């Protein structure tokens, strides 16, 4: 059995339009310049405070974050969708007997709601996000990775991390976990190649499923 931790945004789902709309809502409310979609997308992965710090300024995070979260919760399901290959990959890994978990900087409550909305929750044994009273951490904090391994009930050498950004790689490295990245999120394959060898980068989940797990691509 494999113990596989998946990042969420940019790895299994596309929620970038919702995030972009929520960022620009906060910027408008604060009288700031509105960031375009590409710029917002490139900042996602490190947590909402880090994204807002980059786009609104360090001094505006404490006032921007409540505005962001208010709007985000109002439109949380409007533009979210499952990335191609996610259902196929998760279903086949579960059929093999692997233990699957989501490991994300997204709020745990939002993560559970989104996974249920998209029908992905059925494949996961563990859902690990931020914001719960017992989990105040964020990637790449080593304590967050340790918490994930504890929740998965496995050792680091038994685990595998699938993500889409350097934050995911850093979180994996913090726990000595092997990591593979897909170029479907905030970073392109070229950008990811600056932090990990190309053999561990895949263009999408279908390629990852075929090359890493030996699965047959659906026809």
- In this predicted model, what pLDDT tens digit does every residue of 6-62 receive, in sequence order? 999 999 999 999 999 999 999 999 999 999 999 999 888 788 889 999 999 999 999
pLDDT at 128: 95
* Res. 180: pLDDT tops 90: yes
* Res. 94: pLDDT tops 90: yes
Angle, vertex CA 116, rays to CA 110 and CA 120, nearest 5: 110
- Distance, CA of 105 to CA of 9 (rounded, Å): 9
> How does residue 126 score in pLDDT terms, banded at 50, 70 and 90?
very high
pLDDT at 46: 80
Which residues contact residue 97 at a Cβ distance below 8 angstroms, ignoring those fewer than 6 apart? 1
In the chain, the domains with their CATH numbers are 3-14+80-213 (3.40.50.1000), 16-74 (1.10.150.240)
7 catalytic per annotation: yes
> How does residue 112 score in pLDDT terms, banded at 50, 70 and 90?
very high
> How does residue 1 score in pLDDT terms, banded at 50, 70 and 90?
confident
* Res. 190: pLDDT tops 80: yes
pLDDT at 163: 97
User: Which region holds residue 25: left if phi is over 0, alpha if psi is between -120 and 50, else beta?
Assistant: alpha
* SS3 state at 6: strand
Reported as a single tens digit per residue, the pLDDT across 127-179 is 999 987 778 899 999 999 999 999 999 999 999 999 999 999 999 999 999 99
**Chain centre to alpha carbon of residue 137:** 14
Q: Which of 7, 14, 87, 164 is catalytic?
A: 7
pLDDT at 219: 75
* Res. 202: pLDDT tops 80: yes
Closest CA to 185 of 80, 78, 79, 41: 41
- Distance, CA of 94 to CA of 77 (rounded, Å): 26
């Amino acid at each position: 059995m494999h113990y596989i931790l998946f990042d969420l945004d940019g790895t299994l789902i596309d929620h970038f339009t919702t995030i972009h709309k929520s960022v620009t809502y906060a910027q408008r409310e604060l009288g700031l310049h509105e960031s375009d979609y590409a710029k917002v997308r490139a900042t996602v992965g490190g947590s909402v405070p880090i994204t807002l710090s980059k786009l609104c300024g360090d001094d505006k995070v404490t006032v921007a974050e409540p505005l962001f979260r208010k709007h985000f919760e109002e439109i949380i399901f409007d533009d979210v969708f499952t990335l191609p290959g996610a259902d196929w990959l998760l279903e086949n890994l579960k059929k093999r007997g692997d233990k699957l978990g989501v490991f994300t900087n997204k709020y745990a409550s939002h993560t559970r709601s989104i996974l249920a909305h998209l029908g992905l929750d059925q494949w996961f044994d563990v859902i690990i996000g931020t914001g719960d009273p017992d989990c105040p951490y964020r990637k790449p904090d080593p304590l967050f990775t340790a918490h994930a391994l504890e929740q998965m009930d496995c050792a680091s050498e038994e685990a595998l991390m699938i993500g889409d950004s350097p934050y995911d790689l850093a979180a994996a490295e913090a726990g000595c976990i092997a990591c593979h990245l897909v170029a479907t999120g905030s970073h392109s394959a070229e950008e990811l190649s600056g932090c990990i060898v190309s053999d561990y980068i895949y263009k999408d989940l279908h390629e990852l499923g075929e090359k890493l797990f030996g699965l047959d691509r659906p026809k």
